[in-house]
Amino acid sequence: MRFMMFMYPEIDEADWTPSTENVEEVAAMSRYNEELRKAGMLLALDGLRPPGDGATVSFRGGEVKVTDGPYAEAKEVVGGYWVIQARSTEEAIEWAKRCPGRDCRVEVRPIFELEDFPPEIREAIPHEADLHPGD
């Protein structure tokens, strides 16, 4: 099963920029990421820039609205993510518990697989290879 783990840091956007003050935190996270890779679980990962660098595209009633960040209504923002392969939800949670993050939380969510859908829906979905052309 594939899982996405979202990291929600509890920091102000002003503290988002990497600095020499968090070298050890970055090193610890790099070691954790390497453990995931060596265990054959890591499929993808990335840290995300602060919300102020992004935008939201909303769809309501046939209208499209673009809102530049930061987002005053956002109480939590995703700071990064991992996509991992695990045998069970419990195994994915155990890996999330090993994350060296400080003042954050990690959400673990299973990713829909093609076989999760009824045959009629699967027929309407492009082949997996078509969805990931670079793989």
Each residue's pLDDT tens digit, 38-82:
999 999 999 998 888 888 899 999 999 998 876 656 677 888 999
DSSP β-ladder status, 2-9 and 55-60: unpaired
Cross-strand bridge partners of residue 8? 105
Identify whether the C-beta of residue 52 lies closer than 8 Å to the C-beta of residue 13. Answer: yes
Tokens 């679980």, residue located: 41
Over residues 101-126, the mean pLDDT reads: 89
Residue 89: Cβ within 10 Å count: 13
* Residue 110 domain flag: yes
Q: Kindly report, residue by residue over 20-49, the tens digit of the pLDDT.
A: 777 888 899 999 999 999 999 999 999 998
Over residues 95-121, the mean pLDDT reads: 91
* Residue 104 domain flag: yes
- How many CA within 13 A on the CB side of residue 117? 12
* Residue 114 domain flag: yes
Over residues 109-132, the mean pLDDT reads: 80
- Asked if residue 128 has pLDDT above 90, the reply is no
Identify whether the C-beta of residue 41 lies closer than 8 Å to the C-beta of residue 85. Answer: yes
Range of the domain at 17: 2-50+77-131
Q: Kindly report, residue by residue over 86-102, the tens digit of the pLDDT.
A: 999 999 999 999 999 88
Which CATH number fits the domain that encloses residue 125?
3.30.70.1060
* Residue 107 domain flag: yes
* Residue 108 domain flag: yes
108 vs 4: CA distance, rounded Å: 6
Identify whether the C-beta of residue 104 lies closer than 8 Å to the C-beta of residue 7. Answer: yes
* Residue 81 domain flag: yes
pLDDT at 95 (0 to 100): 97
